[in-house]
Structure 1
Amino acid sequence: MSLGKRILCIWMPRLPVNRFGRSGLPVEDCLFAVTAEEKNAVRLICLNKHARRLGLAPGMTLATARAAAPELITVAEEPLRDEAFLKALQRWANKFTPWSACEGKDNLLLNITGCAHLFGGERAMADYIVQELADKQVEARIGVADTKGAAMAAARYGAKGETIIPAGETRQRLAKFPIEALFVSDQTIFELKRLGLKRIGDLYPLKSADLMKRFGLGLLRAYEKLLGSAADPVTPAKAQPIFAARMSFPDPIGLTDDVSEALNRLTDQVCKRLSEHAFGLRAARLSIYRADKQQMHIDIGLARPTQEAKQIIRQFVLKFDKIDAGCGIDVMRLSATKAEPFEPKQKRFADAEKQNQLDELVATLGNQLGFDRVLRWRPLESHLPRRSFRFVEAVQCKDDGQWKASLSRPLMAYEGEHATILEPGRPPKRFEWRGRTFTAARFKGPERIGPEWWKGPQSDELKDYWQIDCEEGPRLWLTTKPGEKPHRWEVAGLFP
């Protein structure tokens, strides 16, 4: 029976190879394959047509493939870039229907119910999609059916010219498809074949209860979704917009002023698109493609999302010394590698200027040293000074005004650094700390601070604290345990 819906599957069996071909590699002029480490061995996962004709196949180890074809050229897979490319193709597919989604690593699913007539029917639509992808150097096969599973099976296993299953004929047409069209685990497929169930039609005489009892609920659900007995809709995943701009030059450039001007124009375009979608940029990449086919990439990060071009440009300018133009630059591309929703907040001018300066300082230090090394204090609820704060990455810390100024607490808290007493007293009159000698001019205390008993036996012991103004300048916080003989003094902090 027909469910009234029509699903189109775009299967791209050689997506990684096609992507490398689009980047300029001559993947169709040699024996070429993409490899990945699987099962403790480097194996082929995607091959071009020349390698397939020679008898090489996915899953073959690289050592075996090289023995059969020493001239084989291989590159390691780049799963993140493959995923980004698939998502880019999903955005392209929105021209056919607003209901599209990525499925696995090499499938796009489109709900084309009520859309096919706009392109001259399902056959004409399928041919148009295949031709457009061929123009993009992407090899594809199309399957159309009433269900997702049937459309994927038709694209992958359907004979040439028979990849469109007419509405209401899913059960009849799928009968001759191989059992792999269920898209279940390899172990389940092996068990089915061992019992002589090699085609989808072999399952038709069997009862659902028997299938579930022998192979579990997973196989039964896959079987029902394939035939349309269970719902399996295309859940559209709205692709996040890409914030990028690209500029090609009629003649290669190499002067710093030319690179700077190109960067200004690219940044303006990216910021305009960010503003249109209410996003702010947190990290960006400037890709430079030279005339000699060499590439270089410069990455920067920001402390806060921004739509201001000047903040972005200033961070890139600090890294201009890393640009080697070589024989000249043909293409420059600026892309946002991390973007977040942006909500402008109105502040007083002085506060906004102060915050902008702090954000720029954090960004500059982070781009030079690494953002994980730029830290800020974060307040915690504790009356013990050394437990009243913790360090967090500055880019993750929001100024929420939780700090409470207190002249009785040090600016810096130390983890009990020992002080050598030169002239005893309570507190000591002279002592040595960190290789320097200090003489007490004035002092205030003692202040007795008890342990945080609610945190268990690991909490601090009872201690007395003194504020000591030293003749040498610093104001230190000294501590000792009450009643301890002899007294062991420690420097617990430094006041501003």
Structure 2
Amino acid sequence: MIRLEPELGDQALVIVAEEGNTQTVCSVNVEAQGRGVHVGQPIRDAHAMCDGLVAKSRNVLAEKRFLSILRRWAGKFSPWVSEEGRDALVVDLTGCAHLFGGEDALVAVVQDDCTDLGLSVHLGLADTRGAAWALARYAGQAAQSNRSGDAIDQEARATRSRAGKRRHWTKGGAAPVADMSRETRQNRIAGAGQTYSALSPLPVAALRLDAETTAQLGRLGLRCVGDVLGQPRAALARRFGRGLVLRLDQAMGSAPEPISPARPAHHFAVRMSLPEPIGLADDVMAGVDRLLPNLCQSLKDKGRGMRCLQVQAFRTDHAAEMIEVGLARPTHDPVRIRPLIALKVGDIDAGFGIDMLRLEAVQHEPLHERTAVGHLGAGAQARARHTKAQDIEDLIGRLGARVGLDSITRLHPASSHIPEKSAQIMSAAWSGTYDGPWPKAQGPRPVLMWKPEPLGAQDSPQLPHVFRWRGREHRRIRAFGPERVAPEWWLDDPNWRSGQRDYWVTETDRGDRLWLFFGHGATMSAGWFCQGHFL
């Protein structure tokens, strides 16, 4: 944990995580560990044990970003670095240790770097990935009895008061953190061909087994790795499954376990320092015109298209202004991106002047080029469709720069005979146009549709001649229908508990063409309602 708050360097500090309805300790510093606080302890017990304990909530996203930073730092030792879990790195040092003066010197460099970062490190170095994992977590720990009654050195309760004074970590607290001296580092390094002797005294949990398998092995008296290695493989596989045998083979090198290094993330950004501060929107756009083609060319070379562009303006007073531009479709065409920047460049407050501009593609996606094939007519038609789609996407991008991309939606058909469920609303920026034919309804559908509104009319299936709607009296001139729509019986929709409906298209003397229906009242009272308007 990096000490971003120096005042907490000498205080007992823990990180708290939510597990169900309980807050438990998930990480401790050296000071808290020396005072008996341990991982997995409820936070209320930790406060009772350690006076003045400082607790911070866990930030999983920040931990992931920090581990990614550490992965880049570990690249100084080997190019083959991968993240393991949420708190560990695995490095393939084949052919790299001699560059640092040997394995012991390399471990010393790792320790010094981590100390400078304010980190406590547990590491292991061995021929196999499984053995290195075991040494990093269990080096120096002896196998413990499960105290099931078969341990010879188990004391009786009556004689417990006569036992010698125990160290605090044998009573439930955590063991103190030992300094990584040269002797300690040697215990965490298994020389070439010494994997068997290095793992034998470690507890069976060092084989990366689940808690149930570890407990079963302990009940049988197999408490250290050496005890398990001496057993017949066939008997172990029959009793505990192939998982135990696989872990043994991986630890001893019989089964391969390669390291897949994480692929470096694509990063696209350009910047320009200005000899004199600028403050006009035209000057900012002039700088954008110089930077944007280079950024788009970098994206094009990698086959990527940006979805979100960030324009950062750094001012002379050390403040920074930022605007973001979203696009309806990924693209690396500067001609389509520049108008969107011009719409929002006025939001930048130049202050006393801007001395540096920076463009960054904060969100990008793979972009596959399309080539029209076929005879001349088909090619021209395909290009026309492509141009029309681009025009729509550019329009969505311009509107999104003003009102936000989430405010622009489009409709796609849905497989339902219920009028209000016959179409689904989708984000226009994250969905494509529907190319197929739109399903035809059984009857006419209004242009405007809303939730059913009750009418002032008699509760009779006979279409009323006069009714009252939205505070106004309407007189029916002509009507078309009825169209009967039944509810989806396999769903419990509260809006359709009125049962089946008879829809009518009704023209009134006020010039309105309304969509009325009569609910037959299967589970609710019957009556007339208005649900839409034909323009």
TM-score by length of 2: 0.64
Give CA-to-partner distance per residue, 1:418-437, whole Å, 9 cap, x none.
43359x99965543223333
Q: Which residue of 1 aligns with 2:65?
A: 84
Q: Name the Cα RMSD after superposition.
A: 5.4
Give CA-to-partner distance per residue, 1:162-202, whole Å, 9 cap, x none.
43323332112222334332232345445544554443222
Q: Which residue of 2 aligns with 1:14?
A: none
Which residue, out of 480, 491, 499, partners 1:445? 480
Question: Percent identity, aligned pairs only?
Answer: 30
Distance 2:218 2:186 in 1: 27
Which residue identity does 1:398 align to in structure 2? Answer: G
Which residue identity does 2:16 align to in structure 1? Answer: A
Give CA-to-partner distance per residue, 1:258-281, whole Å, 9 cap, x none.
xx89x9799999877655544445
**Structure 1 residue 148 displacement after superposition:** 1.3
CA contact (8 A) 2:396 2:408 kept: no
Counting strand residues as a fraction of each chain, which structure ranks higher? 1
**Structure 1 residue 78 displacement after superposition:** 0.8
CA contact (8 A) 2:322 2:348 kept: no
- Which is greater in Rg? 2
Say whether residues 1:358 and 2:396 are aligned partners: yes
Distance 1:236 1:430 in 2: 76
How does 1:42-441 map onto structure 2 within 5 Å? 42-94=23-75, 97-114=78-95, 116=97, 122=103, 126-127=107-108, 138-158=119-139, 159-193=184-218, 195-212=220-237, 215-242=240-267, 274=299, 277-282=302-307, 303-305=328-330, 339-343=364-368, 351-362=389-400, 364-366=402-404, 371=406, 376-381=410-415, 385-402=419-436, 404=438, 408-414=444-450, 416-421=452-457, 430-440=466-476
How does 1:4-15 map onto structure 2 within 5 Å? none
CA contact (8 A) 1:464 1:481 kept: no
**Structure 1 residue 82 displacement after superposition:** 0.8
Which residue, out of 14, 17, 23, partners 1:34? 14
**Structure 1 residue 227 displacement after superposition:** 1.7
CA contact (8 A) 2:340 2:397 kept: no
Distance 1:302 1:231, change over 3 A: same
Q: SS at the partner of 2:125?
A: strand
> Bigger relative contact order, structure 1 or 2, given CA contacts below 8 A and separation 6+?
1
Distance 2:215 2:127 in 1: 27
Q: SS at the partner of 2:6?
A: coil
CA contact (8 A) 1:87 1:239 kept: no
Structure 1 unaligned segments of length 5 or more: list them.
Answer: 1-16
Distance 1:299 1:67, change over 3 A: farther
Distance 1:26 1:332 in 2: 33
Distance 1:43 1:342, change over 3 A: same
Distance 1:45 1:297 in 2: 36
**Structure 1 residue 336 displacement after superposition:** 6.7
Q: Which residue of 2 aligns with 1:493?
A: 532
Which residue identity does 1:400 align to in structure 2? Answer: Y
Which residue identity does 1:431 align to in structure 2? Answer: F
**Structure 1 residue 410 displacement after superposition:** 2.0
454-463 or 106-115: which moved more? 454-463
Q: How many residues align?
A: 460
Q: SS at the partner of 1:161?
A: helix
Distance 1:140 1:306, change over 3 A: farther
Which residue identity does 2:6 align to in structure 1? Answer: P
Distance 1:208 1:240, change over 3 A: same
CA contact (8 A) 1:30 1:73 kept: no
Distance 1:98 1:278 in 2: 25
Distance 1:434 1:221, change over 3 A: farther
Distance 2:202 2:476 in 1: 91
TM-score by length of 1: 0.68
Distance 1:197 1:209 in 2: 16
Distance 1:343 1:434, change over 3 A: farther
**Structure 1 residue 108 displacement after superposition:** 1.5
Distance 1:434 1:95, change over 3 A: farther
CA contact (8 A) 1:283 1:299 kept: yes
